[in-house]
Chains A and B, each alone.
Chain A
Amino acid sequence: MLGREWSQRGLNAMGKLVAEIIVEILQSAGVKRCYGVVGDTLNRIAGSLEKSEIEWVSVRHEEAGAFAAQADALVADRLTAVAGSCGPGSLHFINGIYEANRNRAPVILIASQIIRDELGFDFIQEVDFKQVYRDCSVFCDMIHTPEQARRKTVMACQAALAKRGVAVLIVPADISASVVDDRIPYAVHVARPVTRPNDTDLAEMAEILNKSENVELYGGSGCQGAHQEILAVANKLKAPIAHTSRAKDFLEFDNPYNIGMTGMLGNEAGYHALLDCDALLMLGADFAWRQFYPDKAKIVQVDIDPTHLGRRHPITKGVVGDVKATMASLLPLLVERTDASFRSAYVKRYAGVGAGQNCCRPQWQHSRKLSDTGDQQPSGKRCPVHGRRRYPGRLGLSPYRGERSAPHFRESASWNDGQRHAVSHWAPEGRTHSTGGVHGRRRRNFDAVWRPDDGRRTGATHQDCRLR
């Protein structure tokens, strides 16, 4: 109600309420929703939002609002707003803001602030948002005068969209309640250039990939919208495609070469394919856990952010570009292959991961009560898919060729401390080895039980490795 009165007064004075200017610019930058909790210093802006096309989504805690805005921004691919009151109100967004900024989600936080006259005197609920949000934003600044409101809001929106991250705009309550002359037409300009590596870089990439025997594709969130181009490259290179959790939506569907994820939440097909390939083509992927990257393979990385190149694991060649445009430019330089044995071995192995849930390891997938229902009992026969121990370590061998490739195999150990522990699992040919306390008895070597090339599955079933 107050907001309406003010805006009315503003119009009468041939000027505009700053709160209205801010909302108008948000709308022009494509904002459709604003998440938050209303209150005191935010009330003017809330009043202007209510009159606008922007939908207000009331949440019970700002943190949830920031996570929701991030999801909204990424799913709809547009700038999304969050807004909060001064002090604890706008402070509560912080965890969601950190994640949104890390995930390159275009989000703008309107952090309303106590009036300028009281800033710097430890006023009730005074928080220096610039200090707080500097580390998790691509733009973080306060509107210092009513006159700079339009220009600064424009810069904030533009930064969030162009730099892909969070813009934090700090708005003191007296500024949003001010009326200013608003005639200079600063406006948001959003460019969407197509970026691809230069021809020399492309040729180098192609040469590495063409010269490598078994190529594996590993896609991250940068693969959005590039499904067709990635599959065309995978088809030509006869490469399986693994993905990060964030790329699930972009790569899993309609993809006969999909082998799921690696990492702690991944599956054994994705995990081993990444470690066993000769060349890894990383596409918009910034997977953080270094121990899941191959040490021996050549790694070619494509990313839109040059600072991401080689920051997780040393790489052979890094290029900057959109995945879609880069794959389209790379495709004609690649040599078509005929041998798809590497890919089919891992695709088959991935299919087995799902099948295994119903054949040879019911008690691993379900509670005892579930397995007692009868339909998921072990058949007593050797599992056609697994036919071997459950979690084979990486024994430095190439399962698709049935030969050992690296006798010095180093496994990363421990759960998520990010450290390598150089635990040797290797045992000389023909000997069994033990990995300790879980299964409680010695097991056979991996290569004795996995030979996808001739379709044989020999060796221990899970029954054999149970603790008795």
Chain B
Amino acid sequence: MSKHTLVRFDAVSKKYADVVALDNVSFEIGAGEVFGYIGPNGAGKTTTMKILVGLIPNFGGSVLVDGRDIKSTKNGLHRVLGYLPQEAGFQEWRTVDHVLTTLGRLSGLSHQKLKERIPQVLELTRLTDVRYKRVVHLSGGMIQKVRLAQAILNEPGLLVLDEPMSGLDPEARHQVRVMIKETANNGTTVFLSSHILSDVQDIADRIGILSHGHMLKVGTPDDLQSHFQVGNVVEIVLSKGSRTLPNFGNDDGIEKVEEMTSSRTLLHMNPDADADTTMALILRKLVQSGCQVRNLNLVRPSLEEVYLRFVGGEL
């Protein structure tokens, strides 16, 4: 990491009765970084985030934010913190405006500042039209936007988002992704968890994979793919009337040949095979055998494939 460390989890553990939620979890988040946190249900993601924002005061290990221990400096830190919980309700009588006014005042914003800030946040989250409507009368996706609006209201330096895309339709999900990117571009550090791995892959600078309370791996999306050595796939599409494909095997760095149609074939590379060398070898063999190739394409496994294989114990 080139930027200084803003958040440091050091050997953090948490037990609920006999259930271990977090076991010796350590990682760092750099200032201005977008850190994605993925893992199956019950992995301990929400517990990690609740510890960071101070909702779970009793835990083992230490958590430092900007070098300060959160156990001793809660109120000071909370002025620079924004949090979107996975679940959070609102009293039946509250309108969107009430929610933002009350929570904004409690965050230390003045009436004058709130007069400027609330319309900005409503515009950003596209909630302007429902400003004076009761929150409980809004759809699930709109309520999620209200939760997001309160999280960014005080222009936090550290934004903690627990499943921010949950319950949103594709358009709203896209809007939230753009908003997170814009927030990060303005210098805010973002710590977000999600089950929607493609969203994390698009947004996050680095990703931590958590499973059963253990941090399995932290790295950039590229790091994770190369670390777990999931083999690349080469897609070959032959022209009509072309000669048949030559045989490929282990000597060529190919683990498996999968014929999809008569003209389209997938070659699964060995996980340890070098992509460039193998591609060159395949190309040479195709030319030598006189095949007419319409398309030759290297397909890298998605983070989702890496993740699923990893938490599934295949890697």
A and B interact physically: no
Measured CB to CB, the residues of A under 8 A from B are: none
Measured CB to CB, the residues of B under 8 A from A are: none
